[in-house]
Structure 1
């Protein structure tokens, strides 16, 4: 039975349909994970990026304009979350990662200067296939990586063979720059590795190699599937309008430097200062205009709540680092929740 289209499952998931949401996660979990891992993140950091990406989709599920490009939306979001995490931690962004839309999935499987290990690849055809994959230009490898991680992605229209070799001169980092003839790229790989292998089979083989080497952990899948529970369509969304971490060219190594965030929505401004000490985060915030309200800090790790004081201020100590958002519940008026942010 054919899978339902993205538009159909997105509409269903927006109503809270758990099965529809899980079908989206199952389709794209590999894509999100491969983008996160392409930034050479440890599993714990890649898990945070994955969770942040899925929570953002829950938050903006009504705003996806082109459901057929959901894979691109998720990959872009994961890339931004990964870059933000690296910069906030004062870590160097891997060379090319800031502009490579799909990262270096191949680099996480075998290094560029060694042949695939016999214990990783199952047979000679896999070895030949991987060898031919590595001979392709970087833009062509990028396009195939997207097809490996996202099997639903539409194939670009065929263009002359020379397009691929010149694609690197296009705007770097965009999938558009890698629209280098998926038809002939795959034909090129297929023809040299094994003239009898089919198009779907080569993608399946490459996907299998990647899946055996670095599969999505079960706990990451479980967290992604549970994300839909945070859907809150009744509260107004306070969007992030300022983030000091996004404006710093280099983060302070070792942490300790306060991060300033500002959100606006539903006629309320919520300003927050986040300071990390000894692995825990302290949040000091202010709601303006100052109104009697309860503030709830929501996180997959647990929730905390407090009342604002007479000047609209509030504080949370011992916050677990990860994805969090704030929900402000005024005594009078509609509730407001901020966008998810990764601390």
Structure 2
């Protein structure tokens, strides 16, 4: 009989032997013999199921070079949490070193308390730029609630056509990028930077989209977004985000941004204040859309509401200008049509 703690699982010897060989937990196998005893055929059947694949994968020791294994053990890093770049995902010493240099050890956090973590090069750059922004540019913040139902409906209507014509899944971010770019056309001062004692309005509207990586945020920018169609924006956005995650962006693609969008809509975060991405003078923050009840023509209806925040450099942009910009963007999104974007 096979046992697991206080539970007992009846299995014939050959079935137990095969389960041990394949790394299969007998508690997950349903027996087909008398009194539910586990037979060899039950082991074979279980191997073909998805749960078997997951179980076997979980119990197998991750492939790693001896040097990588020794270094991981020394630093207290689980190899299961390290992405291998060797043949068939084998973890190499360079992979472990990369995790160490990031300054954040993937996992459940055990062993992190009381440690001093080195800052990665990317984190040092982020720290320097955020300090520069926070202590140099006087920020002011504005918030408004935007009804997202019209935009969601528009996306659903055009989704099949865009997927067919552009081979891309259009996202809400693509609509936001276009809407922000068009609104900046009306308010060029939101596309300005400060140089010495001069305000320089940048000639192109290049909208940056914050992309979260393990080490921090990176902001590739869609060039002249006001002049691109939604399909073109979607294609460029998808390419930039993919290359951001694989560390293949060019410096120019990061530095060309003139305004930034930072969205936490995928989290249960309703609003947040964002720090300017220097030398830019404006950044838009977007929280999660939530259901709100409202009255319309005497009837109770449900509306999807997302809170938008605008942070601006008060040296360049006055409060009335920022408020009017945000109000214009809100109106554009709530009355969105395919032709208006």
Regarding TM over 0.5, the answer is no
Q: Name the TM tier (shorter chain).
A: under 0.3
With structure 1 as the length reference, what TM-score do the two structures score? 0.22
